[in-house]
Structure 1
Amino acid sequence: MFHETVESFDQLSKMDELERGFYGMRPVWQLVSKHEWLGTARSIADDQGFFHWELDFAHVFREGGFTLQVGNPPWVRPDWWESPILADFDPYFLLQDKIPEKVLSVRRDDLLRSRHVSNKYLADLVEWAGTAEHLSSTVGYPKLSGIRTNLYTNFMEQVWRNGAAGGISGLIHPEGHFSDPNAGEFRSHTYRRLRRHFQFFNELGLFEGVGGMAVFGLHVYGDISDVNFAQMSSLADPATIDSSFEHDGMGELPGIQYEWGGRDLRPHASRITWIDQEILSDWARIFDENGTPALESRLLRPLTVEQVSLLSILSNQTTRMSDIGYRWVFLWNEKSSKKDGYIEWKTERPNNWSEVILQGPHFSVANPFAKEPNDPCRSKSDYSSWDLAALPESVIPRTNYRRAAGRERYDDAVPKWGVRQRQIFGGLHGAV
């Protein structure tokens, strides 16, 4: 209001200060000193680095949102990992592999007796708890209700929310939500936005530091519409996508791998499968609970159009596995069973089959002697294949877990299916 008389920047500064006082505007430091909660909030915001899309991109949202978004969001679950925090004070917690639960508990308790250590530990725990609570909030992320939090799903919903009408977004992220039995509602939101879905294995090392069998997808999203998206599965080289769209549809159909080994990278028009609600309905009848809506069905990855047609034929089968007495049981959970003292990590060859605890890599289709862990076993891929032609007449596989509880307590915790099943499977146990 007084700017007409300003002749220098120094005068402008003084006029701005006078104008703020005229309108009752007070310096931030005065507000912070008067309202303690405001100072605390500012301190937390500075420490956590909060990011507000609507504030940082107000000019974009004023025009309706982003018309194009691309990204590779974090593939991380916000789980609590205390070992790196404890290792700041005692490197043992990171240098020692597979610490027994009892040893871990005792050593952690000893370390946390230090006030300095416990204060840092609790501060990090509070920070994690707040972040996890925010990311799993149905207020901030209503479409993620009921599913286990993973940062990539948070970004999916955020990107959908940030998009303008007619906008397109492309994200590279994992695909756990396509098979999670609790993610049906989230799948229904995904299918109606999905335009392209290209599933990859990291066999060619497209992402460094990620295992060759890691699965991820390139996903293109648009506005909500009827389900109709192009899908290609079991890819390893992005060049296969463009070449398949240019292919004339002639020639031998590709497979996942060649008979002699190695990923089949050949392009083919038949690799491009178009998925609509009718196809999802077929898949729901095959693999989901009776009555599962098509939009909540789990996503299959048939390699070719011909395989899609075969699945549609199978979906007309009225007899399901549950009708013929199919049963399964969930046995040892590695984390909770170690904590409860039922099993412990010890890579060794048991003396008899009653002490065997199997894991997934031990067996494959029609082959109970697929692999055994190396000693020491440092990861889920640290296994060696059996030479079946040289397999001894009598052999017990090396295992990573052994029984930690007394025999009676251990056996009582094993699910029982009845006398016959107990006789057949009573000596073999599995960990997941």
Structure 2
Amino acid sequence: METTWSSASPTGVVSIIHPESHFTEKKAAPLRRQAYLRLRRHWQFINELRLFDVHNLVQYGVHVYSHPQDVPSFTSAASLYHPQTATDSLGHDGSGPLPGLKDDEGQWDRRPHRDRIQHVEESVLKTWKSVLENDDTPWLDTRMVYTVNTDAAAVLEKLAAAPRMKDLDLQFSRGWDESIDKKKGYFDVGWGHPDSWDDVILQGPHLGVSTPMIKQPNPTMTSNKDWIEIDLEALPADFIPATAYQPNHEMPYNEEYAKWMDLNGDWISARKFYRVAWRQMAATTGFRTMYPALIPPGTTHVNGVITAGMASSLQDQTSMLAAGAFLSSLLSDFVIRSAGTHLWPSLIEKTPVIMDSRLTRIATISYLRLNCLTSAYAPLWKAITDEDWTFNTPIRNAKKRFHAQNEIDAAVALSLNISVDELCTIYRTQFPVMRRYDQENLFDANGRRVAPEIMKLEKKLREGEELPEEKRTWTHPQSQVSYYFEYPFTPLDREKDLRAAYARHADGIEK
């Protein structure tokens, strides 16, 4: 890059295909600044169609440079899969639905559209800075934010003006180092069902969106994918998930774990508190990028998980709970996946949150009911709601959990002044895997998600036929509980559900 810039004449133009790392790595600020000033065209590609001799997951770009300007001014488009998309988008009239990452058929979206094209200048870079950088970072040094269309960029600009997580003064922990602390002897590999949360060492796959125990490792532990989904409907009140790491309490296990400072200035083990936990690294094109869940006191985790919380009493955990609720929302996930795959505290602190709002209370209670699956959460539930926890307190049914998460998404959007049309556009264009699952997953008359084995049999039927009752019974491999799936089998419409929740809360009516 520098060689071609120095070799070009004052009126020369240089076009280079190269990786995008200088736009996203914090230490590359000097090179990034000079690139912004010289850029005229920026087309970012993902080689999913395997058109070129580049790994299909590698992001790269076509960059057209010229002489440096006083301020940046260039045309940009991201998440392109074919060169023709960029060419045709430049002359598009703006008609038709907005493109996303995938089209309605689940194929990589190659549709040209005028709104794929973003003109990047000072105001855009300042928006990117507000999403990604600290206040003292020069706006010319900001890392690049990737949005697939201008409507998504407009939502991002709105969210960039909202209050941030950093204002909550949360404390963070990366837990045990999966390599170093294992070598030191604080824990070792080995499958087991802990008798207490004090013996639980969580890994990323344990965590789902608003679900602290969505999977557990199989005893075979043959690979990092050898995990089984947990049956939330049959979950005992005292359930503790199986783990693949076991603690060594002969070591100073508690003394050496991460500590947080309380209001008195004393350092206390982070594991004494309820915390929001999430996977440290996640795919930006997957079902979700952010998987935030509440974990109970006593629990530790390896550095594939990061936690946030407060060293304070149960009654003073409202900020932590609001953080968890907002982080579980589609809009926070959208901000995060626009910025990168490593979900460090510095990125999480830049995400939006609103405190002291009726809508925040709605989102928080829904978040609690999705997370408080066992009696380990009873003290927190009691402290926040002044109600005793019972087996019926958490939401266990799959369809009801779907509705509850949409309640959170709608309440968060309303609190951030994002319209329901904008919220649905983000869902439609930024979350293709979620949208495909919503189209493919079926739920029975009792709100249970139909097991994949039953769905396979269903697909083989002729139109109008039904599976006999004996073929609609399925035993959950984790709980060994048998379920009978009752017709009709139907998908759930997330956009319709989001709009209904949005309208309900906009009118001030709580569910």
Query: TM-score, normalised to structure 1's length?
Result: 0.52
1:312 aligns with 2:157: yes
Deviation of 1:338 (Å): 4.7
Deviation of 1:264 (Å): 3.0
Where 1:204 maps in the other structure, the secondary structure is: coil
2:165 is matched with 321
1:431 is matched with 303
Deviation of 1:207 (Å): 6.0
1:36 is matched with none
Deviations 1:82-103 (A, max 9, x none): xxxxxxxxxxxxxxxxxxxxxx
2:93 is matched with 248
1:376 aligns with 2:222: yes
Identify if the C-alpha distance between structure 1 residues 291 and 332 changes in structure 2 by more than 3 Å, giving closer, same or farther: same
Deviations 1:309-356 (A, max 9, x none): 233333334x33222223333334445445555455x47455455444
1:410 is matched with 253
1:301 aligns with 2:146: yes
The letter for the 2-side match of 1:235 is L
Where 2:120 maps in the other structure, the secondary structure is: strand
Assess if the C-alpha contact under 8 Å between 1:200 and 1:234 holds in 2. yes
1:217 aligns with 2:88: no
1:275 is matched with 120
Deviation of 1:224 (Å): 1.9
Identify if the C-alpha distance between structure 1 residues 160 and 330 changes in structure 2 by more than 3 Å, giving closer, same or farther: farther
**Using the alignment, how far apart are the partners of 1:270 and 1:415 within structure 2?**
46
Deviation of 1:208 (Å): 6.7
Assess if the C-alpha contact under 8 Å between 2:13 and 2:64 holds in 1. no
Following superposition of structure 1 onto structure 2, how do residues 130-169 of structure 1 map, counting pairs within 5 Å?
Answer: 156-165=1-10, 166-169=12-15
The letter for the 2-side match of 1:293 is P
- Structure 1 gaps of 5+ residues are 1-155
Assess if the C-alpha contact under 8 Å between 1:371 and 1:383 holds in 2. no
1:173 corresponds, among 16, 19, 28, to: 19
Deviation of 1:217 (Å): 3.3
Identify if the C-alpha distance between structure 1 residues 291 and 159 changes in structure 2 by more than 3 Å, giving closer, same or farther: same
Deviation of 1:272 (Å): 0.9
**Using the alignment, how far apart are the partners of 1:325 and 1:192 within structure 2?**
36
Identify if the C-alpha distance between structure 1 residues 205 and 295 changes in structure 2 by more than 3 Å, giving closer, same or farther: same
Aligned length: 268
**Using the alignment, how far apart are the partners of 1:275 and 1:263 within structure 2?**
25
Compare 166-175 and 296-305 and name the one that shifted more. Answer: 166-175
Deviation of 1:308 (Å): 2.2
**Using the alignment, how far apart are the partners of 2:53 and 2:60 within structure 1?**
13
Deviations 1:133-191 (A, max 9, x none): xxxxxxxxxxxxxxxxxxxxxxx44554454542403123143x433333333322222
Which is helix-richer, 1 or 2?
1
Deviation of 1:283 (Å): 2.2
Deviation of 1:288 (Å): 1.6
Where 1:200 maps in the other structure, the secondary structure is: strand
Larger Rg, first or second structure (1 or 2): 1
**Using the alignment, how far apart are the partners of 1:351 and 1:286 within structure 2?**
40
1:422 aligns with 2:293: no
**Using the alignment, how far apart are the partners of 2:177 and 2:121 within structure 1?**
37
Assess if the C-alpha contact under 8 Å between 1:347 and 1:377 holds in 2. no
Identify if the C-alpha distance between structure 1 residues 201 and 364 changes in structure 2 by more than 3 Å, giving closer, same or farther: farther
2:506 is matched with none
**Using the alignment, how far apart are the partners of 1:196 and 1:354 within structure 2?**
55
Assess if the C-alpha contact under 8 Å between 2:15 and 2:62 holds in 1. no
The letter for the 2-side match of 1:300 is V
Where 1:242 maps in the other structure, the secondary structure is: helix
Assess if the C-alpha contact under 8 Å between 2:40 and 2:74 holds in 1. yes
Where 1:182 maps in the other structure, the secondary structure is: helix
Report the identity percentage.
30
**Using the alignment, how far apart are the partners of 2:37 and 2:212 within structure 1?**
42
**Using the alignment, how far apart are the partners of 1:385 and 1:414 within structure 2?**
28
Deviation of 1:270 (Å): 0.4
Assess if the C-alpha contact under 8 Å between 1:231 and 1:274 holds in 2. yes
The letter for the 1-side match of 2:301 is H
Query: TM-score, normalised to structure 2's length?
Result: 0.44
- Structure 2 gaps of 5+ residues are 263-267, 276-297, 305-511
1:363 is matched with 207
Identify if the C-alpha distance between structure 1 residues 239 and 397 changes in structure 2 by more than 3 Å, giving closer, same or farther: farther
Identify if the C-alpha distance between structure 1 residues 368 and 348 changes in structure 2 by more than 3 Å, giving closer, same or farther: same
Identify if the C-alpha distance between structure 1 residues 372 and 164 changes in structure 2 by more than 3 Å, giving closer, same or farther: farther
Assess if the C-alpha contact under 8 Å between 2:199 and 2:247 holds in 1. no
**Using the alignment, how far apart are the partners of 1:338 and 1:218 within structure 2?**
44
CA RMSD after TM alignment: 3.6
Deviation of 1:218 (Å): 3.4
**Using the alignment, how far apart are the partners of 1:222 and 1:194 within structure 2?**
7
Deviation of 1:424 (Å): 2.0
Identify if the C-alpha distance between structure 1 residues 199 and 368 changes in structure 2 by more than 3 Å, giving closer, same or farther: farther
